[in-house]
């Protein structure tokens, strides 16, 4: 499978952890449709760790825990498909999954067959308890090969957290996305850390295999499995904006059965999603900016239709100004061009009249523009 833009969907881990069952998945599938998420691009519904029994059956196959999934996984997949969605599951390249359930090490082909027989469309493949002597590129390569031979189109979502220089070899394995950072938690510090860890990895993101900055925490408000202090709506807005700007997969992590209006507004911002899903999937570049400290990040990205995306992110806890010079986006005065910019949260429009653009941002806030290159007046 060649994925042309970053995958989008929902994953059970951030909110539910071990606390999953078929009722939750059915209700989540219903909520997907009720909230019209497929129309915004969200399509995969993924069950993370803790879905199986601790032992394989007599024929060495993984078994869905009958207490959690009494009708079996095929029935769950059928329900998800009946709602027009795609169904994702989870396993691990090690002997055990991160939560201690059986992993797929040395069972890659039989497990790929099992997933195919259930109707799985997406496999998140973790890296806990992996062999200390067999390199990750072989472990992920095996599962990639097994999936390519299982008789069903199953997207491989690698989850090795960027370990062992994943970026150097992940494209050899057939993965369509790869976790480029450690695990996210529902705190502002976690968002900041992952954003900064990602910087050196931008050159490795592109069509076919996307840098996955981890599932979104938008709308968790400190509840659930990775819920710690929680974040404010402004912080969630900036978190979502950064993930979309960087072209990360957008996997929702909150309980979509009970989203607040603000959560829904953030997760369904069509213009931000359009930047995430831009067909060119080009890498963003960082601007030096003018008098900006370490916590004001300014990024730009060339979009497929000739526009620029420009993101101003205030990661600090103080009101601050973000400023940049048009030179830095390729528009010195000699070009006779400037930018006509639309802010994608407020709809505010502004045309840059001199060579510098400046915007005051509240603590933790951001402004993201789609900017058209126009002739100077
Ligand atoms: C790892 C992964 C998480 C999640 C858990 C499940 O920590 O990085 O995303 O899948 O395992 O145990």
Instruction: Verify that 237 and 349 share a domain, yes or no.
Output: no
Provide the β-strand partners of residue 45.
10, 87
Pairing, β 250-252 against β 8-11: parallel
* CA max distance for the chain: 76
Asked, for residue 41, whether it belongs to a domain, the answer is yes
Give the ligand 1 atom nearest the CA of 184.
9
Instruction: Verify that 117 and 222 share a domain, yes or no.
Output: yes
Instruction: Verify that 108 and 234 share a domain, yes or no.
Output: yes
| Residue 192, CA distances (Å) to 184, 240, 241, 350 in order | 10, 12, 13, 28
| Closest alpha carbon to 74 in 9, 119, 134 | 119
| Closest alpha carbon to 6 in 226, 179, 190, 149 | 179
24 lines ligand 1 (CB under 6 A): no
Instruction: Verify that 341 and 199 share a domain, yes or no.
Output: no
Give the ligand 1 atom nearest the CA of 90.
10
What interhelical angle do 72-82 and 22-34 show, nearest 10? 10
49 lines ligand 1 (CB under 6 A): yes
How far, in Å, from the CA of 240 to the mean position of ligand 1? 20
Asked, for residue 2, whether it belongs to a domain, the answer is no
What is the predicted pLDDT for the residue at 292? 80
Distance CA(183)–CA(204), nearest Å, equals 19
Write down the catalytic residue from 126, 186, 278, 307: 126
Instruction: Verify that 303 and 197 share a domain, yes or no.
Output: no
Write down the catalytic residue from 183, 233, 295, 327: 183
Range of the domain at 209: 8-276
148 is catalytic: no
What is the predicted pLDDT for the residue at 346? 98
CA dihedral sign, ordered 235, 299, 287, 203: positive
Distance CA(233)–CA(229), nearest Å, equals 13
Q: How many domains does the chain have?
A: 2
Instruction: Verify that 45 and 174 share a domain, yes or no.
Output: yes
Asked, for residue 199, whether it belongs to a domain, the answer is yes
Asked, for residue 105, whether it belongs to a domain, the answer is yes
48 lines ligand 1 (CB under 6 A): yes
Identify the domain boundary among 276, 309, 324: 276
What is the predicted pLDDT for the residue at 293? 82
Instruction: Verify that 310 and 164 share a domain, yes or no.
Output: no
357 lines ligand 1 (CB under 6 A): no
Instruction: Report how far Cα 119 is from the mean position of its chain's Cα atoms.
Output: 23
Distance CA(51)–CA(226), nearest Å, equals 18
Asked, for residue 136, whether it belongs to a domain, the answer is yes
Instruction: Verify that 265 and 336 share a domain, yes or no.
Output: no
Instruction: Verify that 290 and 265 share a domain, yes or no.
Output: no
Residues 23 and 197: beta-carbon distance below 8 Å: no
Instruction: Verify that 120 and 193 share a domain, yes or no.
Output: yes
| Residue 281, CA distances (Å) to 157, 182, 202, 299 in order | 18, 23, 11, 15
Asked, for residue 85, whether it belongs to a domain, the answer is yes
105 lines ligand 1 (CB under 6 A): no
* CATH number of 310's domain: 2.60.40.1180
Q: Is 283 exposed, middle or buried (0-12, 13-18, 19+ CB in 10 A)?
A: middle
Asked, for residue 257, whether it belongs to a domain, the answer is yes
- Residue identifier of the C-alpha nearest atom 11 of ligand 1: 98
46 lines ligand 1 (CB under 6 A): no
Contacts of 42 (CB under 8 A, 6+ apart): 8, 9, 10, 32, 250, 252
Instruction: Verify that 231 and 251 share a domain, yes or no.
Output: yes
Identify the domain boundary among 248, 276, 304: 276
Give the ligand 1 atom nearest the CA of 215.
9
How far, in Å, from the CA of 352 to the mean position of ligand 1? 45
Residue 96, token pair as written in the block: 């055990």
Provide the β-strand partners of residue 309.
301, 370
365 lines ligand 1 (CB under 6 A): no
Substitution candidate for ligand 1 out of 89, 92, 98 with most atoms within 8 A of CB: 98
13 lines ligand 1 (CB under 6 A): yes
H or E stretch at 113: helix 108-118
Identify the domain boundary among 276, 307, 323: 276
Distance CA(288)–CA(339), nearest Å, equals 18
Percentages (nearest 5) of helix, strand, coil residues in the chain: 30, 25, 45
Instruction: For residue 165, give the DSSP letter.
Output: G
Substitution candidate for ligand 1 out of 10, 18, 49, 158 with most atoms within 8 A of CB: 49
212 lines ligand 1 (CB under 6 A): no
Distance CA(221)–CA(254), nearest Å, equals 9
Give the ligand 1 atom nearest the CA of 99.
12
Asked, for residue 3, whether it belongs to a domain, the answer is no
- Give me the average pLDDT of each 10-residue run along the chain (377 residues): 93 98 98 98 98 98 98 98 98 98 98 98 98 97 98 98 97 98 98 96 96 98 96 98 98 98 98 98 94 91 98 97 96 97 98 95 98 96
Substitution candidate for ligand 1 out of 94, 100, 166, 183 with most atoms within 8 A of CB: 183
* CATH number of 137's domain: 3.20.20.70
Instruction: Verify that 235 and 295 share a domain, yes or no.
Output: no
Provide the whole-model pTM. 0.98
Distance CA(265)–CA(275), nearest Å, equals 16
327 is catalytic: no
């Amino acid at each position: 499978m060649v994925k042309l833009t970053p995958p989008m969907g929902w994953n059970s881990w951030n909110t539910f952890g071990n606390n999953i069952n078929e009722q939750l998945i059915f209700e989540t599938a219903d909520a997907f449709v009720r909230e019209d998420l497929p129309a915004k691009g969200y399509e995969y519904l993924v069950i993370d760790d803790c879905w199986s029994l601790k032992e394989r059956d007599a024929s060495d196959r993984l078994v869905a825990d009958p207490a959690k999934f009494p009708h079996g996984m095929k029935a769950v997949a059928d329900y998800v498909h009946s709602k027009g969605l795609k169904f994702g599951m989870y396993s691990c390249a090690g002997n055990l999954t991160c939560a201690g359930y059986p992993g797929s090490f040395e069972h890659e082909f039989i497990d790929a067959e099992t997933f195919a027989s259930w109707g799985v469309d997406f496999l998140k493949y973790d890296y806990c308890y992996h062999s200390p002597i067999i390199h990750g590129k072989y472990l992920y390569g095996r599962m990639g090969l097994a999936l390519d031979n299982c008789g069903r189109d199953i997207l491989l979502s690698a989850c090795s957290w960027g370990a062992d220089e994943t970026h150097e070899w992940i494209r050899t394995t057939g993965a369509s996305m790869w976790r480029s950072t450690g695990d996210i938690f529902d705190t502002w510090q976690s968002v900041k850390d992952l954003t900064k860890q990602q910087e050196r990895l931008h050159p490795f993101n592109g069509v076919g295999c996307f840098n996955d900055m981890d599932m979104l925490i938008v709308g968790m408000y400190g509840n659930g499995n990775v819920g710690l202090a929680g974040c404010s709506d402004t912080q969630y807005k900036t978190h979502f904006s950064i993930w979309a700007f960087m072209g990360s997969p957008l996997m929702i992590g909150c309980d979509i059965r009970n989203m607040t209006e603000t959560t829904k507004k953030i997760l369904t911002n069509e213009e931000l999603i359009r930047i995430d899903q831009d067909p060119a999937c080009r890498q963003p570049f960082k601007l030096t900016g003018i008098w900006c400290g370490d916590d004001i990040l300014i990024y730009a990205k060339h979009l497929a239709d000739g526009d620029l995306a420009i993101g101003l992110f205030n990661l600090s806890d103080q009101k601050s100004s973000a400023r940049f010079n048009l030179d830095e986006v390729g528009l010195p005065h000699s070009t006779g061009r400037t930018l006509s910019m639309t802010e994608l949260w407020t709809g505010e429009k502004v045309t840059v009249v001199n060579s510098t653009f400046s915007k005051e941002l509240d603590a933790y806030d951001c402004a993201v523009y789609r900017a058209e290159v126009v002739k100077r007046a």
